[in-house]
Structure 1
Amino acid sequence: MPCVPLLGLPLPSPVCDSMETITTATSNLQALPRSCSPIPRTQRGRMKLLGAVLLAVGLLSTAAWGEQHPWPDDPSQTCFFRMLSSLDSEFCRGDLEMIYPELGGVGCTYIPKCHQYRQRISREWGSPRVRYPQAEKNKKYVLMLVDPDAPSRANPKNRFWRHWLVTDIPGADLKSGDIKGHVLTDYVRPTPPPRSGYHRYQLRLYEQPAHEAIALSPEERISLGAWEMENFVEQFRLGSPVASTQFLTKYYED
Protein backbone atom coordinates (compact mmCIF):
# COMPACT_ATOMS: atom_id res chain seq x y z
CA MET A 1 0.00 0.00 0.00
CA PRO A 2 1.24 3.53 -0.69
CA CYS A 3 2.39 5.85 2.15
CA VAL A 4 -0.80 7.77 3.11
CA PRO A 5 -0.74 10.63 5.68
CA LEU A 6 -3.76 12.12 7.41
CA LEU A 7 -4.99 13.99 4.33
CA GLY A 8 -5.30 10.70 2.41
CA LEU A 9 -2.93 11.62 -0.46
CA PRO A 10 0.08 9.45 -1.50
CA LEU A 11 3.51 10.98 -0.81
CA PRO A 12 6.87 10.37 -2.53
CA SER A 13 9.39 8.15 -0.76
CA PRO A 14 11.70 10.86 0.74
CA VAL A 15 8.81 12.81 2.21
CA CYS A 16 7.21 9.65 3.52
CA ASP A 17 10.47 8.62 5.15
CA SER A 18 10.98 11.99 6.86
CA MET A 19 7.44 11.75 8.23
CA GLU A 20 8.37 8.38 9.74
CA THR A 21 11.41 10.02 11.35
CA ILE A 22 9.28 12.71 13.00
CA THR A 23 6.85 10.05 14.19
CA THR A 24 9.71 8.08 15.71
CA ALA A 25 11.08 11.19 17.47
CA THR A 26 7.70 11.73 19.12
CA SER A 27 7.30 8.30 20.64
CA ASN A 28 3.80 8.95 21.90
CA LEU A 29 2.48 8.90 18.31
CA GLN A 30 1.76 5.80 16.25
CA ALA A 31 3.95 5.17 13.22
CA LEU A 32 2.27 6.00 9.95
CA PRO A 33 1.51 3.08 7.58
CA ARG A 34 3.97 2.96 4.71
CA SER A 35 5.39 0.77 1.96
CA CYS A 36 7.76 3.29 0.44
CA SER A 37 10.46 2.14 -1.96
CA PRO A 38 13.86 1.78 -0.34
CA ILE A 39 16.40 4.58 -0.62
CA PRO A 40 20.15 4.53 0.02
CA ARG A 41 21.28 4.28 3.66
CA THR A 42 23.22 7.60 3.46
CA GLN A 43 20.22 9.50 2.14
CA ARG A 44 17.97 7.91 4.79
CA GLY A 45 20.37 9.10 7.51
CA ARG A 46 20.36 12.64 6.15
CA MET A 47 16.58 12.72 5.92
CA LYS A 48 16.24 11.47 9.51
CA LEU A 49 18.66 14.13 10.75
CA LEU A 50 16.79 16.83 8.84
CA GLY A 51 13.44 15.68 10.24
CA ALA A 52 14.75 15.71 13.81
CA VAL A 53 16.16 19.23 13.38
CA LEU A 54 12.89 20.53 11.95
CA LEU A 55 10.95 18.94 14.79
CA ALA A 56 13.22 20.51 17.42
CA VAL A 57 12.97 23.95 15.81
CA GLY A 58 9.18 23.66 15.68
CA LEU A 59 8.93 22.73 19.36
CA LEU A 60 11.22 25.57 20.43
CA SER A 61 9.26 28.07 18.35
CA THR A 62 6.00 26.92 19.93
CA ALA A 63 7.40 27.30 23.44
CA ALA A 64 8.73 30.80 22.71
CA TRP A 65 5.38 31.83 21.23
CA GLY A 66 3.55 30.82 24.40
CA GLU A 67 5.86 32.75 26.71
CA GLN A 68 6.41 35.96 24.74
CA HIS A 69 3.71 36.91 22.28
CA PRO A 70 5.16 39.49 19.84
CA TRP A 71 1.78 41.17 19.28
CA PRO A 72 0.22 42.05 22.68
CA ASP A 73 -2.75 43.62 20.91
CA ASP A 74 -3.65 40.49 18.99
CA PRO A 75 -7.46 40.37 19.24
CA SER A 76 -7.25 36.61 19.72
CA GLN A 77 -5.69 37.15 23.16
CA THR A 78 -8.32 36.67 25.86
CA CYS A 79 -8.95 39.77 27.98
CA PHE A 80 -11.12 39.46 31.07
CA PHE A 81 -13.21 42.29 32.52
CA ARG A 82 -13.74 42.00 36.24
CA MET A 83 -16.85 43.50 37.82
CA LEU A 84 -16.53 45.75 40.85
CA SER A 85 -16.81 44.41 44.37
CA SER A 86 -20.19 44.62 46.07
CA LEU A 87 -19.26 47.80 47.97
CA ASP A 88 -18.12 49.74 44.89
CA SER A 89 -20.86 48.33 42.68
CA GLU A 90 -23.51 49.95 44.89
CA PHE A 91 -22.55 53.29 43.36
CA CYS A 92 -23.80 52.13 39.94
CA ARG A 93 -27.46 53.11 39.77
CA GLY A 94 -30.00 54.06 37.14
CA ASP A 95 -28.63 52.34 34.01
CA LEU A 96 -26.25 55.18 33.14
CA GLU A 97 -24.04 53.99 30.26
CA MET A 98 -20.40 55.02 29.91
CA ILE A 99 -18.82 53.77 26.68
CA TYR A 100 -15.34 54.25 25.25
CA PRO A 101 -15.65 53.44 21.54
CA GLU A 102 -12.30 51.61 21.53
CA LEU A 103 -13.17 49.52 24.59
CA GLY A 104 -16.93 49.35 25.09
CA GLY A 105 -19.00 49.88 28.22
CA VAL A 106 -16.90 50.38 31.37
CA GLY A 107 -19.66 50.92 33.93
CA CYS A 108 -19.08 49.03 37.18
CA THR A 109 -15.83 47.36 35.97
CA TYR A 110 -12.08 47.37 36.55
CA ILE A 111 -10.15 48.53 33.49
CA PRO A 112 -7.95 45.53 32.56
CA LYS A 113 -4.24 45.89 31.85
CA CYS A 114 -4.29 43.65 28.77
CA HIS A 115 -4.22 45.20 25.29
CA GLN A 116 -2.70 48.30 26.98
CA TYR A 117 -6.21 49.44 27.97
CA ARG A 118 -5.04 51.23 31.12
CA GLN A 119 -2.36 53.08 29.22
CA ARG A 120 -4.70 54.02 26.40
CA ILE A 121 -7.47 55.30 28.64
CA SER A 122 -4.87 57.53 30.36
CA ARG A 123 -2.97 58.73 27.30
CA GLU A 124 -4.89 58.26 24.08
CA TRP A 125 -8.66 58.05 24.24
CA GLY A 126 -10.98 61.01 24.27
CA SER A 127 -14.18 61.44 26.26
CA PRO A 128 -16.54 58.49 26.54
CA ARG A 129 -19.99 58.32 25.06
CA VAL A 130 -22.64 58.77 27.76
CA ARG A 131 -26.17 57.50 27.37
CA TYR A 132 -29.14 57.57 29.72
CA PRO A 133 -32.22 55.94 28.17
CA GLN A 134 -34.51 57.16 30.99
CA ALA A 135 -33.76 60.86 30.36
CA GLU A 136 -36.80 63.10 29.84
CA LYS A 137 -36.69 65.04 26.58
CA ASN A 138 -38.09 68.27 28.05
CA LYS A 139 -35.51 68.45 30.85
CA LYS A 140 -31.85 69.41 31.09
CA TYR A 141 -29.09 67.63 32.97
CA VAL A 142 -25.69 68.19 34.57
CA LEU A 143 -22.94 65.62 34.06
CA MET A 144 -19.70 65.36 36.02
CA LEU A 145 -16.78 62.94 36.14
CA VAL A 146 -14.73 63.05 39.36
CA ASP A 147 -11.98 61.14 41.12
CA PRO A 148 -12.65 60.91 44.88
CA ASP A 149 -9.33 59.10 45.43
CA ALA A 150 -6.79 61.84 44.65
CA PRO A 151 -3.95 61.35 45.25
CA SER A 152 -4.89 57.90 46.64
CA ARG A 153 -7.86 56.14 48.15
CA ALA A 154 -5.98 55.80 51.44
CA ASN A 155 -5.22 59.56 51.55
CA PRO A 156 -7.79 61.45 49.42
CA LYS A 157 -6.71 64.95 50.44
CA ASN A 158 -7.39 66.34 46.93
CA ARG A 159 -10.84 64.85 46.44
CA PHE A 160 -12.85 65.43 44.30
CA TRP A 161 -10.58 65.81 41.29
CA ARG A 162 -12.71 67.21 38.49
CA HIS A 163 -12.26 65.42 35.16
CA TRP A 164 -15.34 66.63 33.27
CA LEU A 165 -18.26 68.98 33.89
CA VAL A 166 -21.05 69.67 31.41
CA THR A 167 -24.33 71.52 32.08
CA ASP A 168 -27.48 72.27 30.06
CA ILE A 169 -27.52 68.83 28.44
CA PRO A 170 -30.87 68.23 26.69
CA GLY A 171 -32.61 65.03 27.72
CA ALA A 172 -32.97 64.04 24.06
CA ASP A 173 -29.18 64.05 23.70
CA LEU A 174 -28.77 61.81 26.72
CA LYS A 175 -31.27 59.32 25.33
CA SER A 176 -29.32 59.06 22.07
CA GLY A 177 -25.87 59.21 23.64
CA ASP A 178 -24.83 62.31 21.70
CA ILE A 179 -23.94 64.78 24.46
CA LYS A 180 -24.23 68.49 23.69
CA GLY A 181 -24.24 71.14 26.39
CA HIS A 182 -22.29 73.89 28.11
CA VAL A 183 -18.81 72.57 28.95
CA LEU A 184 -17.49 74.06 32.19
CA THR A 185 -14.53 71.66 32.40
CA ASP A 186 -13.13 69.93 29.33
CA TYR A 187 -12.66 66.19 29.57
CA VAL A 188 -9.42 65.24 31.35
CA ARG A 189 -8.17 61.66 30.95
CA PRO A 190 -7.91 59.47 34.07
CA THR A 191 -4.25 59.54 35.16
CA PRO A 192 -3.73 57.78 38.50
CA PRO A 193 -0.25 58.45 39.95
CA PRO A 194 2.24 55.56 40.15
CA ARG A 195 1.92 53.27 43.17
CA SER A 196 -1.31 54.95 44.30
CA GLY A 197 -3.52 51.88 43.84
CA TYR A 198 -6.91 51.82 42.19
CA HIS A 199 -8.82 55.08 41.70
CA ARG A 200 -12.58 55.35 41.30
CA TYR A 201 -13.73 57.45 38.36
CA GLN A 202 -17.30 58.38 39.13
CA LEU A 203 -19.78 59.59 36.54
CA ARG A 204 -22.68 61.45 38.14
CA LEU A 205 -25.80 62.70 36.37
CA TYR A 206 -28.08 65.33 37.91
CA GLU A 207 -31.33 66.84 36.81
CA GLN A 208 -30.75 70.55 36.30
CA PRO A 209 -33.29 72.85 37.95
CA ALA A 210 -35.27 74.91 35.45
CA HIS A 211 -33.83 78.35 34.68
CA GLU A 212 -30.78 77.67 36.86
CA ALA A 213 -27.58 79.22 35.47
CA ILE A 214 -24.69 77.06 36.64
CA ALA A 215 -21.10 78.28 36.66
CA LEU A 216 -17.77 77.67 38.34
CA SER A 217 -16.20 80.32 40.53
CA PRO A 218 -12.87 81.88 39.44
CA GLU A 219 -11.10 79.81 42.10
CA GLU A 220 -12.73 76.59 40.87
CA ARG A 221 -11.73 77.31 37.29
CA ILE A 222 -8.08 77.68 38.29
CA SER A 223 -7.75 74.27 39.96
CA LEU A 224 -9.26 70.89 39.12
CA GLY A 225 -8.11 69.23 42.32
CA ALA A 226 -9.57 69.43 45.83
CA TRP A 227 -12.88 70.49 44.31
CA GLU A 228 -15.66 70.93 46.86
CA MET A 229 -18.18 69.02 44.81
CA GLU A 230 -20.75 68.75 47.61
CA ASN A 231 -20.83 72.56 47.98
CA PHE A 232 -21.26 72.94 44.23
CA VAL A 233 -24.17 70.50 44.22
CA GLU A 234 -25.80 72.27 47.16
CA GLN A 235 -25.24 75.76 45.76
CA PHE A 236 -27.11 75.00 42.55
CA ARG A 237 -29.74 72.78 44.16
CA LEU A 238 -28.88 69.71 42.12
CA GLY A 239 -29.96 67.24 44.80
CA SER A 240 -29.01 63.59 44.48
CA PRO A 241 -27.84 62.07 41.18
CA VAL A 242 -30.62 60.60 39.06
CA ALA A 243 -28.08 58.03 37.87
CA SER A 244 -24.43 57.21 38.46
CA THR A 245 -21.75 54.73 37.51
CA GLN A 246 -18.00 54.30 37.91
CA PHE A 247 -14.97 52.33 36.80
CA LEU A 248 -11.69 51.63 38.60
CA THR A 249 -8.22 51.82 37.13
CA LYS A 250 -4.66 52.41 38.26
CA TYR A 251 -1.32 53.50 36.85
CA TYR A 252 -0.74 51.39 33.77
CA GLU A 253 2.72 50.13 34.76
CA ASP A 254 1.73 49.06 38.31
Structure 2
Amino acid sequence: MLVETISTATSSLQALPPGCSPIPRTQRGRMKLLGAVLLAAGLLSTAAGREQPPWPDEPSKTCFFQTLSSVDSEFCRGDLEIIYPELGDVGCTYIPKCHQYRRRISREWGSPRVRYPQAEESKKYVLVLVDPDAPSRANPRNRFWRHWLVTDIPGADLRTGDIQGRVLTAYVRPTPPPRSGYHRYQLRLYEQPAHEAIALSPEERVSLGAWAMENFVEQFRLGSPVASTQFLTKYHED
Protein backbone atom coordinates (compact mmCIF):
# COMPACT_ATOMS: atom_id res chain seq x y z
CA MET A 1 0.00 0.00 0.00
CA LEU A 2 2.87 2.40 0.80
CA VAL A 3 4.61 1.64 -2.53
CA GLU A 4 1.39 2.20 -4.48
CA THR A 5 0.83 5.58 -2.79
CA ILE A 6 4.41 6.69 -3.57
CA SER A 7 4.06 5.56 -7.19
CA THR A 8 0.76 7.43 -7.63
CA ALA A 9 2.13 10.62 -6.11
CA THR A 10 5.33 10.41 -8.20
CA SER A 11 3.51 9.87 -11.49
CA SER A 12 1.26 12.85 -10.71
CA LEU A 13 4.32 15.01 -10.09
CA GLN A 14 5.98 13.89 -13.34
CA ALA A 15 2.84 14.85 -15.28
CA LEU A 16 3.33 18.56 -14.45
CA PRO A 17 4.30 20.69 -17.46
CA PRO A 18 7.92 21.80 -17.25
CA GLY A 19 8.45 25.38 -16.15
CA CYS A 20 4.85 25.78 -15.07
CA SER A 21 4.53 28.47 -12.36
CA PRO A 22 2.82 28.88 -10.04
CA ILE A 23 1.99 25.29 -9.28
CA PRO A 24 -1.77 24.74 -9.25
CA ARG A 25 -3.42 24.19 -5.85
CA THR A 26 -4.26 20.56 -6.66
CA GLN A 27 -0.68 19.82 -7.61
CA ARG A 28 0.63 21.53 -4.47
CA GLY A 29 -1.62 19.19 -2.46
CA ARG A 30 -0.18 16.18 -4.28
CA MET A 31 3.36 17.31 -3.59
CA LYS A 32 2.57 17.70 0.12
CA LEU A 33 1.16 14.18 0.07
CA LEU A 34 4.32 12.89 -1.58
CA GLY A 35 6.47 14.61 1.07
CA ALA A 36 4.43 13.07 3.88
CA VAL A 37 4.65 9.61 2.31
CA LEU A 38 8.40 9.85 1.84
CA LEU A 39 8.84 11.05 5.43
CA ALA A 40 6.78 8.12 6.72
CA ALA A 41 8.81 5.69 4.64
CA GLY A 42 12.03 7.10 6.05
CA LEU A 43 10.80 6.74 9.59
CA LEU A 44 9.73 3.14 9.00
CA SER A 45 13.11 2.34 7.48
CA THR A 46 14.91 3.85 10.49
CA ALA A 47 12.74 1.95 12.95
CA ALA A 48 13.31 -1.32 11.10
CA GLY A 49 17.06 -0.80 11.31
CA ARG A 50 17.06 -0.41 15.07
CA GLU A 51 17.97 -3.32 17.30
CA GLN A 52 14.84 -4.83 18.78
CA PRO A 53 14.77 -5.40 22.55
CA PRO A 54 15.45 -9.04 23.36
CA TRP A 55 12.67 -11.28 24.63
CA PRO A 56 12.88 -12.23 28.32
CA ASP A 57 14.85 -15.37 29.00
CA GLU A 58 11.78 -16.90 30.60
CA PRO A 59 8.14 -15.95 30.04
CA SER A 60 6.25 -14.83 33.12
CA LYS A 61 4.47 -17.64 34.92
CA THR A 62 1.01 -17.51 36.36
CA CYS A 63 0.91 -18.31 40.06
CA PHE A 64 -1.97 -20.35 41.36
CA PHE A 65 -2.82 -20.12 45.05
CA GLN A 66 -4.37 -23.34 46.22
CA THR A 67 -6.69 -23.25 49.21
CA LEU A 68 -6.26 -25.77 52.01
CA SER A 69 -8.08 -29.05 52.17
CA SER A 70 -11.35 -29.17 54.06
CA VAL A 71 -9.66 -30.67 57.13
CA ASP A 72 -6.94 -28.02 57.38
CA SER A 73 -9.25 -25.16 56.44
CA GLU A 74 -11.37 -25.81 59.54
CA PHE A 75 -8.61 -24.21 61.58
CA CYS A 76 -9.23 -20.85 59.88
CA ARG A 77 -11.82 -18.95 61.91
CA GLY A 78 -12.65 -15.31 62.54
CA ASP A 79 -11.28 -13.40 59.51
CA LEU A 80 -7.74 -13.18 60.87
CA GLU A 81 -5.36 -12.00 58.13
CA ILE A 82 -1.63 -12.75 57.82
CA ILE A 83 -0.13 -10.59 55.08
CA TYR A 84 3.26 -11.06 53.38
CA PRO A 85 4.84 -8.86 50.67
CA GLU A 86 3.75 -9.73 47.12
CA LEU A 87 1.44 -12.46 48.42
CA GLY A 88 -1.17 -10.57 50.39
CA ASP A 89 -3.23 -12.55 52.89
CA VAL A 90 -1.92 -16.14 52.90
CA GLY A 91 -4.45 -17.44 55.41
CA CYS A 92 -5.88 -20.85 54.55
CA THR A 93 -3.60 -21.35 51.49
CA TYR A 94 -0.51 -23.24 50.37
CA ILE A 95 2.48 -21.02 49.67
CA PRO A 96 3.20 -21.54 45.94
CA LYS A 97 6.66 -22.45 44.69
CA CYS A 98 6.52 -20.10 41.68
CA HIS A 99 8.47 -16.82 41.77
CA GLN A 100 10.56 -18.40 44.57
CA TYR A 101 7.88 -17.52 47.12
CA ARG A 102 8.73 -20.49 49.35
CA ARG A 103 12.39 -19.54 49.43
CA ARG A 104 11.63 -15.89 50.03
CA ILE A 105 9.22 -16.50 52.89
CA SER A 106 11.88 -18.64 54.60
CA ARG A 107 14.99 -16.62 53.69
CA GLU A 108 14.09 -12.99 52.98
CA TRP A 109 10.82 -11.64 54.31
CA GLY A 110 10.44 -10.39 57.85
CA SER A 111 7.39 -10.57 60.06
CA PRO A 112 4.04 -10.30 58.29
CA ARG A 113 1.33 -7.78 58.96
CA VAL A 114 -1.45 -9.25 61.07
CA ARG A 115 -4.90 -7.75 60.77
CA TYR A 116 -8.06 -8.50 62.71
CA PRO A 117 -10.82 -6.00 61.82
CA GLN A 118 -13.09 -7.23 64.64
CA ALA A 119 -10.59 -6.37 67.40
CA GLU A 120 -11.95 -4.19 70.19
CA GLU A 121 -9.89 -1.05 70.65
CA SER A 122 -10.24 -1.09 74.43
CA LYS A 123 -8.80 -4.61 74.75
CA LYS A 124 -5.36 -6.18 74.43
CA TYR A 125 -4.45 -9.38 72.65
CA VAL A 126 -1.84 -12.14 72.54
CA LEU A 127 -0.48 -13.37 69.21
CA VAL A 128 1.08 -16.83 68.80
CA LEU A 129 2.66 -18.34 65.66
CA VAL A 130 3.67 -22.00 65.93
CA ASP A 131 4.63 -24.98 63.80
CA PRO A 132 2.86 -28.11 65.10
CA ASP A 133 4.68 -30.30 62.53
CA ALA A 134 8.28 -30.10 63.73
CA PRO A 135 10.28 -31.85 62.46
CA SER A 136 7.50 -33.37 60.28
CA ARG A 137 3.78 -33.87 60.34
CA ALA A 138 4.29 -37.62 60.50
CA ASN A 139 6.61 -37.32 63.52
CA PRO A 140 5.90 -34.04 65.39
CA ARG A 141 8.08 -34.77 68.39
CA ASN A 142 9.13 -31.08 68.67
CA ARG A 143 5.66 -29.56 68.47
CA PHE A 144 4.86 -26.75 69.02
CA TRP A 145 7.83 -24.92 67.53
CA ARG A 146 7.43 -21.30 68.57
CA HIS A 147 7.93 -18.81 65.72
CA TRP A 148 6.44 -15.67 67.22
CA LEU A 149 4.91 -14.59 70.51
CA VAL A 150 3.66 -11.05 71.19
CA THR A 151 1.54 -9.89 74.13
CA ASP A 152 -0.14 -6.61 75.10
CA ILE A 153 -1.21 -5.84 71.52
CA PRO A 154 -3.73 -2.98 71.43
CA GLY A 155 -6.92 -3.77 69.57
CA ALA A 156 -6.51 -0.58 67.53
CA ASP A 157 -3.25 -1.95 66.09
CA LEU A 158 -4.90 -5.18 65.03
CA ARG A 159 -7.55 -3.25 63.16
CA THR A 160 -4.88 -1.62 60.97
CA GLY A 161 -2.49 -4.58 60.78
CA ASP A 162 0.51 -2.71 62.22
CA ILE A 163 0.84 -4.45 65.55
CA GLN A 164 2.86 -3.15 68.45
CA GLY A 165 3.24 -5.03 71.71
CA ARG A 166 5.58 -6.81 74.05
CA VAL A 167 7.66 -9.30 72.08
CA LEU A 168 8.40 -12.46 74.08
CA THR A 169 9.69 -14.38 71.05
CA ALA A 170 10.98 -12.43 68.06
CA TYR A 171 9.66 -13.51 64.69
CA VAL A 172 11.37 -16.60 63.25
CA ARG A 173 10.85 -17.29 59.54
CA PRO A 174 9.14 -20.53 58.49
CA THR A 175 11.96 -22.92 57.60
CA PRO A 176 10.72 -26.49 57.04
CA PRO A 177 13.57 -29.04 56.83
CA PRO A 178 14.29 -30.70 53.48
CA ARG A 179 12.12 -33.72 52.61
CA SER A 180 9.84 -33.17 55.61
CA GLY A 181 6.70 -32.44 53.60
CA TYR A 182 4.29 -29.63 54.23
CA HIS A 183 4.30 -27.84 57.58
CA ARG A 184 1.36 -25.97 59.06
CA TYR A 185 2.15 -22.50 60.37
CA GLN A 186 -0.65 -21.66 62.74
CA LEU A 187 -1.47 -18.14 63.85
CA ARG A 188 -3.64 -17.87 66.97
CA LEU A 189 -5.02 -14.70 68.47
CA TYR A 190 -6.15 -14.63 72.09
CA GLU A 191 -7.89 -11.95 74.10
CA GLN A 192 -5.55 -11.05 76.93
CA PRO A 193 -7.15 -11.04 80.39
CA ALA A 194 -7.10 -7.60 82.00
CA HIS A 195 -4.11 -6.90 84.25
CA GLU A 196 -2.54 -10.27 83.36
CA ALA A 197 1.25 -10.15 83.19
CA ILE A 198 2.31 -12.79 80.68
CA ALA A 199 5.87 -14.12 80.50
CA LEU A 200 7.86 -17.14 79.42
CA SER A 201 9.67 -19.23 82.01
CA PRO A 202 13.49 -19.42 81.87
CA GLU A 203 13.20 -22.94 80.46
CA GLU A 204 10.83 -21.78 77.72
CA ARG A 205 13.14 -18.93 76.73
CA VAL A 206 16.04 -21.34 76.21
CA SER A 207 14.40 -23.32 73.40
CA LEU A 208 11.82 -22.64 70.72
CA GLY A 209 11.04 -26.29 70.06
CA ALA A 210 8.83 -28.70 71.98
CA TRP A 211 6.95 -25.80 73.53
CA ALA A 212 4.05 -26.79 75.81
CA MET A 213 1.70 -24.25 74.28
CA GLU A 214 -1.42 -25.72 75.91
CA ASN A 215 0.14 -25.30 79.37
CA PHE A 216 1.05 -21.70 78.54
CA VAL A 217 -2.51 -20.95 77.44
CA GLU A 218 -3.95 -22.55 80.56
CA GLN A 219 -1.47 -20.87 82.92
CA PHE A 220 -2.41 -17.37 81.77
CA ARG A 221 -6.12 -18.09 81.32
CA LEU A 222 -6.16 -17.22 77.64
CA GLY A 223 -9.01 -19.58 76.81
CA SER A 224 -9.85 -20.36 73.19
CA PRO A 225 -8.51 -18.18 70.36
CA VAL A 226 -10.84 -15.39 69.27
CA ALA A 227 -9.53 -16.00 65.74
CA SER A 228 -7.04 -18.30 64.02
CA THR A 229 -5.61 -19.02 60.61
CA GLN A 230 -2.78 -21.03 59.04
CA PHE A 231 -0.81 -21.51 55.85
CA LEU A 232 1.18 -24.50 54.62
CA THR A 233 4.59 -24.53 53.02
CA LYS A 234 7.57 -26.85 52.63
CA TYR A 235 11.28 -26.70 51.89
CA HIS A 236 11.72 -24.50 48.85
CA GLU A 237 13.72 -27.02 46.80
CA ASP A 238 11.46 -30.01 47.40
TM-score by length of 1: 0.72
The alpha-carbon deviation at position 102 of structure 1 amounts to 2.7
Match of 2:200 among 212, 216, 221: 216
SS of 1:164's partner is strand
Query: How many Å separate the matches in 1 of 2:201 and 2:119?
Result: 28
The alpha-carbon deviation at position 105 of structure 1 amounts to 1.0
The alpha-carbon deviation at position 104 of structure 1 amounts to 1.1
SS of 1:107's partner is coil
Task: Work out the number of aligned pairs and report it.
Answer: 188
Query: How many Å separate the matches in 2 of 1:202 and 1:245?
Result: 6
| 1:199-239 alpha-carbon deviations (Å, 9 max, x no partner) | 00000000000000000000000000000000000000000
Aligned to 1:149: 133
Match of 1:180 among 164, 171, 177: 164
Query: How many Å separate the matches in 1 of 2:2 and 2:197?
Result: 80
Aligned to 2:115: 131
Query: Are 1:193 and 2:177 counterparts?
Result: yes
Q: Equivalent residues in 2 for 1:1-254 (5 A)?
A: 9-10=2-3, 70-71=57-58, 76-254=60-238
SS of 2:68's partner is coil
Larger Rg, first or second structure (1 or 2): 2
Query: How many Å separate the matches in 2 of 1:144 and 1:164?
Result: 6
Aligned to 1:57: none
Structure with the bigger RCO (C-alpha within 8 Å, sep 6+) is 2
SS of 2:158's partner is helix
Paired residue type of 1:167:
T
| 1:99-130 alpha-carbon deviations (Å, 9 max, x no partner) | 00232110000000000000000000000000
CA contact (8 A) 1:101 1:129 kept: no
Query: How many Å separate the matches in 1 of 2:157 and 2:97?
Result: 32
SS of 2:231's partner is strand
Paired residue type of 1:120:
R
Aligned to 2:43: none
Query: How many Å separate the matches in 2 of 1:190 and 1:101?
Result: 15
SS of 1:220's partner is helix
Q: Report the RMSD for the aligned CA atoms in angstroms.
A: 1.4
SS of 1:110's partner is coil
Q: Percent identity?
A: 86
Query: How many Å separate the matches in 2 of 1:252 and 1:231?
Result: 33
